A = this chain, B = another copy of it.
Amino acid sequence: MDFNSNKPIYLQIADTICERILDDQLKPDDRIPSVREYGAQLGVNPNTMMRTYEKLTSDGIIYNKRGIGYFISQGAREIVLENEKKFFLENTLPGILKTIKLLGIDPSVFKENYK
């Protein structure tokens, strides 16, 4: 957690969870800690955790059983991958291409540094 980042904490936490899903550390129907528990763990207010969980729920990545807790959705990994892929191709890639062209950087740096 970077408390000074310009990226909201609740989204940073969401990202962390998404990464764990991609890594298969979190699998469908796994329970994730309660807002209170996780909040205490991270030194963050339960309300902030709640915002994270709301966001992930509306994205279909986790689901809720009332009074019990939050769980990873069935299609979670696919949704996360899809989101990130989309974000990359739409937002990141065009900027990159424009930039390296402007800066005169050879596009093969990517292949060379790719391992």
Contact = CB atoms under 8 A, between A and B. Distances in A.
A114 B97 CA distance: 6
A88 B65 contact: no
A100 interface: yes
Contacts of A108: 111
Chain A: interface secondary structure? helix
B22 A102 contact: yes
A4 interface: yes
A105 B64 CA distance: 32
A4 to B, nearest CB: 6
Nearest to A58: B58
Contacts of A66: 3-4, 8-9
A7 to B, nearest CB: 9
A96 B84 contact: no
Interface string A76-102: 000001001100100011001101111
18 contacts: A3-B66, A4-B65, A4-B66, A9-B66, A19-B102, A22-B102, A81-B102, A81-B103, A85-B105, A88-B99, A88-B103, A88-B105, A93-B109, A96-B96, A96-B110, A97-B110, A110-B111, A111-B111
